[in-house]
Structure 1
C-alpha cells in the first residue's frame, strides 16, 4: 500500500527531473560554446546569442520528438524561478561589482537615462503601436495594453554588448553609461509595468488615479532604496562588530608572525561570513517584495552599500569567496535565462502570428531608443564641461546597445498569464525582439565599437592622461597599470577595493589590482605609450566600470 502511494508521486516528479537535467545539459553546452567562441575571438556572436540559439534547437528537437505536455510544461520558462531565484543573484552581482564611487559621480546622467529615458521609451512604444493598430497596420490592442507592452519592452539587457566592451577595452565612460543605465532601467521598467498594468486590470483611469500612479511609482523607488540601504547598513554593523570584524586581513592581509588571535584566525570564519552575506543579499530582495516595493531596486542598492561598507570588514578569503560566488552564479544564471528563453519558445502553442506587430514594434523600439538617448544626452552635455561631453559616436553606441533580454521576457510571461489574448501577443512579440536584438545588435557590437573608434586605445593619449590625473587629484584614481587588459576590466571588485583602501591608508595600494593583467600583456607597450604612468582611467572597479569623472553631479 505504501508503495502504491509513492508511485504517483515518483511519476509526477519524473518530468521535473528530466526537465532540470535537460536545462543543465543545455547550460553546460552553452557555456562551453561561449568559451570556445571567446578563445577563437569570434566577434559576431557572444555567449548569450549562442545560448539562445542552442535553446531554440533543443526546444525544436523536443517539439519534433512529441514530448508530453507535462514535460513541456516542466521545461518551459517560469516567472517564479526567474523572479525569486535567478534575478536576485544577477542584480546583486550587478550592484556589488559596480564601481560605486564612479557610479555616484555619474548618478545624474545615469538616472536621467534610466528614469526619464525609460519612461519616454515606454510611452513612445505604446503610442506608436496603438497608432499602428488603429490604422490597421498590425494587430490592434487598446492603448493601456500597448503602454503595458511599452513598459515591459523598455527594460534593456546589454549582457552581450558589455562582454564585448570588456573584451575590446571600450571607452570607460561608454561602459559606465551602458552598464549603469541597464542596472537602473530594469527596475524602472518593472515598476512602470506594474503601475500601468494595474490600470489594464480594470482600475479606473482619471486624473486622480494617474497622479496616484505617479505617487506610487516614486514611493516604490524611495521605499525600495531605503530597504536596500537599511539592510546593507545592518550587515555592515554586524560585520563591523568585534565578534565578526576581519578588516585587517581584508585590507592588508595577515601580518607575518602576528600573534594577535583575531588577526590570525579571522580567516577561518570565511564560510560564516559568506553565508551571512548571502542571507543579507537575498533578504533585501524578499523584504522589499513583501513590502510591495521593488526587490530589484532594493537588492541593487543593497549590493552597492555592502560593497562600500561590508567588504572592508571581511577577511580577504571571505571577500574573494563572495565576489567569486556572485560573479559565477550571476554569469551562469544570466546564461541560463537565455537557454531557458530559447527552449521555451517552440514548446508553447502560438495562437497569434503577429509578424506585422513584431516588425512595427522593432521600428518603434528604434525610435523610442533614439527618443531616450538624444534629449537626455543633450541635457547631460549641457551640464557638463565641453571635454566631458558624450560624443555623437558614443550616443550612437548607446542607441545600438539597447538589447532586450531576460527582464523583458520574464515580464511578458507574467503578462501572458495575466492578460489573456493581449498577454499572448506581448510574450510572442517580446521573444522575437529578444532574439533579433541579441543576435543582430549584440553580434555586430564589436564591429561597431571598432568602426566608431570607441576603444580606450582610440582615445588620444593626452585626454586619458589628463583624465587619470583628475582621478588622482580626487583621490580615487586607478591603481592598475596600463597592461590590465580584458581581465582587469571584468574582475575588478575586491582587488580594486582593497588596493584603493590600502592606498588611502598606508600607501601600499598598487598591489592587488595588477592581477588583472595576464592575457593582454602583449599589448602593454602600446597601451603604456597611450596611457602613460597614470594607467587606465578606470576607478576601483577595474577599467571600464570606473571611467567616468566630472566636475559636477551629472558625471
Structure 2
C-alpha cells in the first residue's frame, strides 16, 4: 500500500505540473516540470521547518524512495530503449565515428579533467577530497542527458548530422559512464592497496562487451519474432518483453543493462526492424513508446525535484557546486574539442558543432542516481550536494538557453553565407 501511495503521489504531482506548464509556462516539458517541482520543494522545506504535519508526512514518503534503484533498475532501461528506437539509424550510421569517439574518448577525457580539477578546487572551499573520490565524481558527472532539449534542438532547425551526434552520443555515453563508474567504485571500495588492474579491466570488458553483445542478441531475437507476427497488440507486448526481460537478464549476467537496451532499441527501431512491422503496428509501437517515454520523464524530473526535501545541501556545498559547474563545462569543451580535432582531418563539421555539443551536453537523472548510490562510508553527502547543483544548473540554465543559442548561431552562419 505504501508503494502505491508513493507512486500515486508522484503521478498526481507530475500530471498537475505538466498541466500548469502546458497551460501557463509553456517551457519544454522536462524543464518546466523540474522548475515547478524545485520551487514547490523549496516551499515545502520551509513549511517542514515550521513543523506542518502534512508536509512532514510527504517528506517521510519521499525519504522511503530509493532514487538510484527506481532510475537505474527500472526507469533507465525503458528510457534508453525508447530513445534508441526513435533515432534514425541511417543517420547514426553516417555519424558513427564521431558518436563512438565522443561517447568513449570524450567521456574518459571529461572524467579525468573533472577529477583533477575537483582535486584542486575543493580545498579552496575547505572541502579536501581524496583523488579516488574525485575520479568517482568525474565518472558520474560525465555522462550527458539531452532529453530536456531534444524538442528545442529539432525546432531550432539544426543540421541533422549534429542532432544525431548529440542524441547518439548521449545514448551510448550513458552506458559507458555507468560502466566506468562501476569500475572506479570497485577500486574505491577495495582501496588502492587491493587494486588489481587486470581484474578492473576484466570488469570493464565484461560490462561493456557483455552489454553490447546481449543487446545485439535481444534486438535480433526481437526482430525475428516481430517479423513472424502481424498483430499490433502482440508486437507491442514483445517490445515490452525485450526491455523488462533483457534488463533483468543483464543484471543476472552482470553486464551493462543500459548498453544492452541501447543496442536492442537501435536494432528494433532500424529500417530493417520497422519493415518487419505492418504500418498499423509501427504506428502503435511508436505511440506506445512515446507515451512511456513521456510518463517516465515526467516522473523522473518530479522525483529529482522532490529529492530536495530530503537532501542536506549546505551553502558551502552550493558555493563549491557553482565552481564545479564551470569546471564541468570546461571539461566538456575539451573532451569535445579533442575528438573533433581528429575528425576534422577527414570530414567537415558544422561551424557551430563545438558550441552546440558543449552547451548541449546536459547532465541529468543518471548523475544524481549514481551519486545517491554511493555508500555512506564515502563522502556521499558532499558528492551528492555538488552533483545536484551541477544537474540543476545544467537542466535549467543550459536547457533554457540552448534553443536561443542554436537560433543565434544559425542566423550568424546564414549571414556569413
Verify: 1:159 aligned to 2:147, yes or no.
Answer: yes
1:218-229 correspondence to structure 2 within 5 Å: 218-229=205-216
Among candidates 31, 37, 41, match of residue 59 of structure 1: 41
Instruction: Quote the residue 2:220 is aligned against.
Output: 233
Instruction: Quote the residue 2:394 is aligned against.
Output: 437
Equivalenced residue count is 409
Q: 2:107·2:335 contact (CA, 8 Å) conserved in 1? A: yes
Q: What's the CA shift for 1:410? A: 1.0
Among candidates 283, 292, 295, match of residue 332 of structure 1: 295
Q: 1:187·1:296 contact (CA, 8 Å) conserved in 2? A: yes
Where structure 1 has 5 or more consecutive residues not aligned to the other structure, the ranges are 1-12, 247-268, 461-555
**TM-score in terms of structure 1 length:** 0.69
Hey, what's the Cα distance between the residues in 2 that align with 1:216 and 1:85?
A: 23
The structure-2 alpha-carbon separation of the partners of 1:278 and 1:371, relative to structure 1 and needing over 3 Å to count, comes to same
The structure-2 alpha-carbon separation of the partners of 1:147 and 1:202, relative to structure 1 and needing over 3 Å to count, comes to same
Superposed CA RMSD: 2.5
Instruction: Quote the residue 1:289 is aligned against.
Output: 251
1:46-445 correspondence to structure 2 within 5 Å: 46-63=28-45, 64=47, 65-67=52-54, 71-76=58-63, 77=65, 78-133=67-122, 135-204=123-192, 209-241=196-228, 244=229, 246=230, 269-308=231-270, 309-350=272-313, 353-384=316-347, 388-391=348-351, 393-415=352-374, 418-420=375-377, 422-445=379-402
Return the structure number with greater helix share: 2
Q: What's the CA shift for 1:404? A: 1.0
Q: What's the CA shift for 1:314? A: 2.1
Q: What's the CA shift for 1:192? A: 0.8
Q: 2:360·2:398 contact (CA, 8 Å) conserved in 1? A: yes
Where structure 2 has 5 or more consecutive residues not aligned to the other structure, the ranges are none
Hey, what's the Cα distance between the residues in 2 that align with 1:292 and 1:114?
A: 21
The structure-2 alpha-carbon separation of the partners of 1:205 and 1:449, relative to structure 1 and needing over 3 Å to count, comes to farther
The structure-2 alpha-carbon separation of the partners of 1:209 and 1:425, relative to structure 1 and needing over 3 Å to count, comes to same
- Which of these two proteins has the greater Rg computed from alpha carbons? 1
User: Can you list the C-alpha shifts for 1:425-467, whole angstroms capped at 9, x where unaligned?
Assistant: 111111111111111111111211111117998896xxxxxxx
Q: What's the CA shift for 1:340? A: 0.7
Hey, what's the Cα distance between the residues in 2 that align with 1:373 and 1:218?
A: 24
Hey, what's the Cα distance between the residues in 1 that align with 2:376 and 2:339?
A: 33
Moved more, 281-290 or 147-156: 281-290
Q: 2:110·2:138 contact (CA, 8 Å) conserved in 1? A: yes
Secondary structure of the structure 2 residue equivalent to 1:453: helix
Q: 2:312·2:385 contact (CA, 8 Å) conserved in 1? A: no
